Each structure stands twice: as structure tokens, then as C-alpha cells.
Amino acid sequence: MRFQILDIIFNPPHPVTGEVVHPSDRLGRVVETAVLAEELGFDSFSVGERHAGDVLSSSPTVILGAIAHATDRILLSTGVSVVAVLDPIRVAEDFATIDQLSRGRFEPVIGKGNEALQYPLFGLDISKQYEYLTENYELLRRLVREEHVDWNGTHRHPLVDATTLPRPFDGPFRIWHGSATSVEAVDLAAKWGDPIVTANALQPRENYKVLIDRYREQYLAHGHDPEKLYVGSGSGGLFLADTTEQATDEFRPIYEGFVAQQDKRLERSLRSDLGGKHDPAAKGRVTSFRTIEDAVERGPALVGSPDRVAEKILDYHDSYGHDLQSVSVNHVLDFEQQKDTLRRFAEEVIPLVKKELSTTLWSPFDADRAKGFTAS
């Protein structure tokens, strides 16, 4: 199995103390964490993208540019790049720039995003989010692979003889698709033979497994090479201690405080004028696991002793068959504690999982891997 750190760069106040990290410090920590991730042997570092709420990831490619300059080996990604609300021309330019700056260490993840308030910000109709996602991705795909593109679509002006610059570092980079709640996202990935990353953060595993299973079925039905079928998985946060009981007790105030913050944010979102297009019952907006005990026992939260967290990853692998495990550390923890958690995960959890699971992803046997990724 391969391992990634994902930072969506949430920056709300501490749910217990009310303390807020200054944006410049928070962004600086992202780059510092990516450098540490490379030192610890993580395979990939991913930066999220959102355009509403207490989040600082509205410009992920700018942040990845800083990380590309500060690192040499680690693969860079987005998680997810919200192409449903973005101009594919701009995305192709930004993505290729990161690919060049990192000398071919870039494999983005794209999707529609999990923030309804992004759509009115960009003057878009949320009821058409999957139309935007499909059209924008399929144009982006062509722009990355082709020069002199002629194109006609529904939601933007036609293109004639369009070539975006810079071009990718060494041919088109692989694009992953984020999957959380919809068959549309996995069907789009399967149609084009692309890999997926399941969010695996807020819902019971059965909800995600249905989409993963559908993706595999559709991928093979389209006639794609099964050797190139890869699945990644997120998690419900990472917190380690000597025992699972200790980890649960220590993380409880933070976890349950953030559950309350999520609930308040959803209430504000539902009160906002989204033109009546938003379904209040939409899945994946807030966590299904209301207590830390529930999240640890039934949910995807990686909270516990190193042995227990390794067991949980293996248990979820039995359901998902995933090749990539993405983890996130809560930003309100003391920064030294964040770094210590990642060190401990790298030294005590990853070896236990790799002892049991292997994958060809990003290995020399993976012909589509990022050209500049040099790990074995």
C-alpha cells in the first residue's frame, strides 16, 4: 500500500479554546509538513481546494508550487481540485505549471467538491454541478493531452485551435477522481479508465463501498486494463496514543467540538439562498458519527494505538481493496504534536500495513505513474 498526507487547510477556531491560527502560519505549516512527509517516506502530499468557509485552500496550485520548490521526491496532488466550478483552460495551465515545477511529480485528484456555497460564489447553478464536472473534466483531459484543440460544449464558449502552456513535463499526467456521494463521479472515472479516491470520511463504509464496487464494474465494462485499476481511500482523521482508550479520551473534546461546528455550518448553508436547488438531505455534508466512540468503533477515524490503527486500515482494505491510504492530522493540535503524530504513523503504523499489503501503484510496474516520481 502507498501512503499520502492530505491537508484541506481548514482553519476554523479551535473548538474548545477559540484560538485561531494566523493564515500565514497555517499556510507555512502546510509546506513544512510536506517537507517532513518527504523525510518520513510518505509517497504523496495532497492539498485540498475549497472556496467557502473557514478554509485556506482556494489556491492549491500556488501552495503546491511552494512545496514543489521545497521538496525533491514526494509526489504532489490535489484533494480535490474543484473543476466543476473552474475554467478548464486555467486548470490546464496551473496543473502543467506544477508538473513542470516539480519535474513530473504531479497527479491531481479532481471532482465537484463538497461545498455547496461555492456554486453561488461563481455564479453557477448547483443543480447542474455534475454537468459542469463532466464537461470541464473532458475538456481538461483534451487540453492536457492535445495541442490545437477545437471544442464545443454547453456551458462555455467554443475553442478553436487552443493550446495551453506550459505543456506537461513529460507527456500527460494521470488524473484521479474524488468520490464521496455520487455515481456520476465514479462513472466518469470508469468511462475514461482513471483511478478514484473515495472520501471515506463522514459516512458509514457501506455507502462508500457501493460506489467503489460500481466503479470497478463500470471500469471493466468499458474494457479498460484491470492492471491499471487503482483505488485510494481517505480517512476520518488521524490521532495516535499508546492505547486506543488514551487516544479516544484525548481526542474527544476536539472531535465533538468539530461535530458541533459542522452542524452550525450546515445550518448556515441551508439558510443561504441557493435558489432552491440544494437538497437539504444530501449525504456527506456532516459526519454520521456523532461521538468519538462511534467514530472509532464504526467509522473511518484512525484514532487509537498504532497497532489498532494498522488493524483498522487492513480492515477497511478488506472492504475497499484500496492501493492508497490518505491521512489527515487535525490542524488545531499543537504543531509539534502534529509532526510527532506523522512520525509515529510512519514508523509504527506504515510498516505493519506494508507487511500485509502490496500494490503496483507508483512502482516501476505502473506505466502511468508520474514521470518524476523516483520511489521504488
The Cα–Cα gap between 162 and 88 comes to 12
Question: Can you tell me the mean pLDDT for 181-186?
Answer: 95
Characterize the bridge pairing of strands 324-327 and 75-78.
Answer: unpaired
Question: Can you tell me the mean pLDDT for 48-77?
Answer: 97
Q: Which residue has the higher pLDDT, 16 or 87?
A: 87
pLDDT in tens, 44-56: 999 999 999 999 9
| Chain-centroid distance, C-alpha 2 | 14
Q: Which cell numbers hold the place of 164?
A: 495551453
Q: Which of 171, 91, 75, 105 is nearest to 133 (CA)?
A: 91
Question: Can you tell me the mean pLDDT for 75-100?
Answer: 98
Residue 167 has pLDDT above 80, yes or no: yes
| Local structure of 165: helix, strand or coil | coil
Amino acid at 13: P
What pLDDT score does 277 carry? 41
| Chain-centroid distance, C-alpha 125 | 24
The Cα–Cα gap between 112 and 180 comes to 10
The Cα–Cα gap between 15 and 13 comes to 6
Q: Is there a contact between 81 and 109 (Cβ–Cβ < 8 Å)?
A: yes
Residue 214 backbone phi and psi in degrees, to 5? -65, -40
Residue 201 has pLDDT above 70, yes or no: yes
What pLDDT score does 305 carry? 98
**Which band of pLDDT confidence, cut at 50, 70 and 90, is reported for residue 281?**
very low
Question: Can you tell me the mean pLDDT for 142-150?
Answer: 98
Surface-to-core class of residue 140, CB atoms within 10 Å of its CB (0-12 exposed, 13-18 middle, 19+ buried):
buried
**Which band of pLDDT confidence, cut at 50, 70 and 90, is reported for residue 267?**
low
Angle at 113 between CA 166 and CA 67, to 5 degrees: 45
Tell me the fold of 2-356. TIM Barrel (3.20.20)
The Cα–Cα gap between 87 and 65 comes to 19
Q: Which cell numbers hold the place of 103?
A: 519535474
The Cα–Cα gap between 115 and 176 comes to 19
- Annotated domain spans of the chain: 2-356
The Cα–Cα gap between 287 and 192 comes to 31
Characterize the bridge pairing of strands 176-179 and 196-198.
Answer: parallel
What pLDDT score does 276 carry? 40
**Which band of pLDDT confidence, cut at 50, 70 and 90, is reported for residue 180?**
very high
| Chain-centroid distance, C-alpha 204 | 18
What pLDDT score does 283 carry? 54
Question: Can you tell me the mean pLDDT for 320-328?
Answer: 98
Question: Can you tell me the mean pLDDT for 54-76?
Answer: 97
Lowest mean pLDDT among 41-50, 134-143, 270-279: 270-279
Question: Can you tell me the mean pLDDT for 64-85?
Answer: 98
**Which band of pLDDT confidence, cut at 50, 70 and 90, is reported for residue 279?**
very low
Residue 250 has pLDDT above 70, yes or no: yes
Question: Can you tell me the mean pLDDT for 264-291?
Answer: 60
Residue 272 has pLDDT above 60, yes or no: no
pLDDT in tens, 325-369: 999 999 999 999 999 999 999 999 999 999 999 999 999 999 999
The Cα–Cα gap between 203 and 282 comes to 12
Residue 18 has pLDDT above 80, yes or no: yes
Cα-only R_g, the chain: 20
What pLDDT score does 269 carry? 58
Q: Which cell numbers hold the place of 51?
A: 472556496
Q: Which cell numbers hold the place of 269?
A: 448553508
What pLDDT score does 257 carry? 86
Q: Which residue has the higher pLDDT, 259 or 67?
A: 67
Distances (CA, A) of 214 to 110, 111, 133, 146, 370: 19, 17, 19, 30, 26
| Local structure of 51: helix, strand or coil | coil
Question: Can you tell me the mean pLDDT for 208-235?
Answer: 98
**Which band of pLDDT confidence, cut at 50, 70 and 90, is reported for residue 256?**
confident
Q: What percentage of the chain reaches a pLDDT higher than 70?
A: 94
Q: Which cell numbers hold the place of 77?
A: 496532488
Q: Which of 66, 90, 184, 183 is nearest to 143 (CA)?
A: 90
Element (H, E) at 7: strand 2-7
What pLDDT score does 114 carry? 86
pLDDT in tens, 96-115: 999 999 999 999 999 999 88
Question: Can you tell me the mean pLDDT for 247-269?
Answer: 82
Question: Can you tell me the mean pLDDT for 299-328?
Answer: 98
